[in-house]
Amino acid sequence: MAIATRTSPLAMAQALMVQAQLAAAHGVEDIEGGFPILGLVTTGDQITDRALLDAGGKGLFTRELDRAQLDGKAAFAVHSMKDVPTHLPDGLELACVLEREDPSDILLTATGPGTLKSLPEGALIGTASLRRQAQALHARPDLQITLLRGNVGTRLQKLKDGPIAATFLAKAGLKRLGRPEGDWPGLDFAHSLPAPAQGAIGVTIRSDDDAARAALAPLNHVPTALAIAAERGVLEALDGSCRTPLAAYGAFSDGSLHLTAEVLKPDGSQRWRMDDARTGIDKIEAARAFGLSLGEALRKDGGAAVEAILTGTGS
């Protein structure tokens, strides 16, 4: 049963995690024979000179993996869930979500971990994320932003070479790569709420593949699956795309699912944030409905200004 994945170092590390967990769950000693890995270069991996919005937006990191599954070349596809569109292609479904890693962002400088407050006046930050750009500018309007894309190693080298003063990376990715920066403190959610489903790994299957679904069942972490379903519900309600600076984070505490979501203007000049909590969320559809309702409430609260952002007509 082959596992499709992107070939970036982080994607391969995540695929190896799934491979090892599948083998352990089913007592398979020949890991490569039982669950071979099929590495694929996606459209998103090939585009490093411009923002994803300019190249087609969400789905650029999943299309080739989707095709491999639909063509029968792979039973599973491993994804960073923040890259997965809210609606999967016909014939595919999300069958498993691993337990989530710390979803926070880390701000890296050439000399170590930083905070938005600690950066010098007018510092240049490199990022390709509109969310991170908007959040940084909301906290520090004086900061300058430049496009920075590429894998973790590429971005860290560009940071070292200058003139970029800092860049953002997901703590989860750094930890999975075994990098020491993964142990650095994450940014406060008050200023840097994560992207929906950040830090979560999902595995898709063909909808008619009952054997693949059964194989993944022991790996599925229900609290994580419910939390990201709520976050992706927010994304769906707000028609989230690469042009929309939005964030959402859900977590269980004291028996309730607590959900926070926000939308910002790309220039950071305005932010709309709401939070809510509900008990009894134990099904994916209920979690999705919770996220949809909070997203719709946020959309209503922002009125015409948020609609302009969502349609790409606002700055």
Active site residues: 83
Alpha carbons 15 and 25: distance in angstroms, whole number: 15
Look at residue 140 and give its three-state secondary structure.
coil
Q: Please check whether residue 84 is in contact with residue 62, taking contact to mean a CB–CB distance below 8 angstroms.
A: yes
Identify residue 279 by its one-letter amino acid code: T
Alpha carbons 297 and 310: distance in angstroms, whole number: 14
To the nearest 10 degrees (0 to 180), the angle between helices 9-25 and 152-161 is 150
Alpha carbons 9 and 129: distance in angstroms, whole number: 20
Place of tokens 């599925």: 220
Alpha carbons 216 and 1: distance in angstroms, whole number: 11
Alpha carbons 67 and 293: distance in angstroms, whole number: 32
Look at residue 134 and give its three-state secondary structure.
helix
